[in-house]
Structure 1
């Protein structure tokens, strides 16, 4: 165990990603400056606050995906999990009149079960994470539409809207949640044995297994983190829209994977940082915001994001070979 701690010390874990993280931060600063200069209405307080609030949902869910990619996997079920949380939460509050806090506890418990199932199928079913979570995605998607009949669920209590649209002073509440979760994920990966083990599993699964670390437990935990944070993001999104929608998360999956990879997390596992994910979400947010302000077709936004993801994946593949 001590040997693994030395091999995967905080310094050695992050040395290979420091340059990438610095590049991401510099890219964000450059894009922010250019957008402020050349795009009318970009650099005003209301637009900036709205931009950060919009990416806060994406960043929270992306941080969950980060843990799975960090161990060399991927969670394709997060979009369907978001839809499941959305419709279930809305129905618990509107049809069953459950208190907001109790309804939230129930749906978060459900996300833990989803993550646990993903982990079990992957670890003990010996199914690749992509296939395992793809199966879960299809099953949950079907459940979502069966449960809601494909119709958005409304009638949510007015006070619930605060979570996704409220302010603490002049700061939107979702931004505060993003900062808290980002800080918690940072501490988890930087300061705890679980964090070191996540990097170790992604870096060299067999060596980590021989070191005595319970790799099955760590892999299952990564999937639980992913589903749980997807659930938190879904709660905030549902609060923002004030309706439970079965397909609300499906369009987000591509953006979620993009910000994790763009943030410097290797698809091969073992490399990546929380800060990179958050700054990548901000970069994607600027791209979306600028294109909306310029009146560019939404389909072109997908083209741009696809090109960005392709470039990042090629760079990641090249650096892995090196």
Structure 2
């Protein structure tokens, strides 16, 4: 996608090929800061402290983190230790485990001396594959947006999204935003309602930044405004990403997604979930079995702005980071393989 008019990926190899470079998303949209990851400890911290976030991008970052660990200790013990260390960085997004398992399985049969180089190559492939999957998600979702716009060709297509499921959450294109970007580029008039997505405001800070960089018309709204807009005919569809989809189709995504799905169902508005197939977790039976990350209450009591953190409440706070949307509320799943009413 475009950053200052230039095609940009959210993660890439460093110029010397010995590390990975990521955007520090904590600084967005106020400034663009690139950070080089030179060891597994920094990669783990970047994931845990949300310098980088979004299920597919967490997976790619972890893959490079494992490669960095193997550059220091490529023994079986070193591989197992690094795998466990990185896996514990964040518990909810399934792509983290998938990417670590993939790299580990790829390098374990190799001689120790060849493992680090092979791990970097595999991490590169994971990043390339993620970008390709997002592009295909966009193409399949574009057909949905085209059909919906045809029902009201005299006005822009109004889309509501939650959190950030754009190229800042993936390697490129995004999941939920990929069809939006492609529709915009194809000349379909779209307008995006951007949930602020408290408590970290990934919608207001990240999704709005992305859309503005690409020239897509959008409006930031408070999280609680979505139902009102739907009831008053100002939303044509809802499209979100996900951190994990359970075997029965339940969707685990940023806290507040469930409420949007309920409002969409009550107002007969289609609710789509966009995801790469790597985010589907056949080993987790239902959404009730997904571990829900409980993050620091400080994310609720404080708001990050251009000048830093500002305390907005004197009380303590609970901070569950995700909720589960039952499969019965999902109109369809958009993956790189196509669109389906079931996962």
Give the TM-score range, shorter chain.
under 0.3
The answer to which structure has the higher helix fraction is 1
Please report the TM-score for the alignment, with normalisation by the length of structure 1. 0.24
* More RCO (CA 8 Å, sep 6+): 1
Please report the TM-score for the alignment, with normalisation by the length of structure 2. 0.23
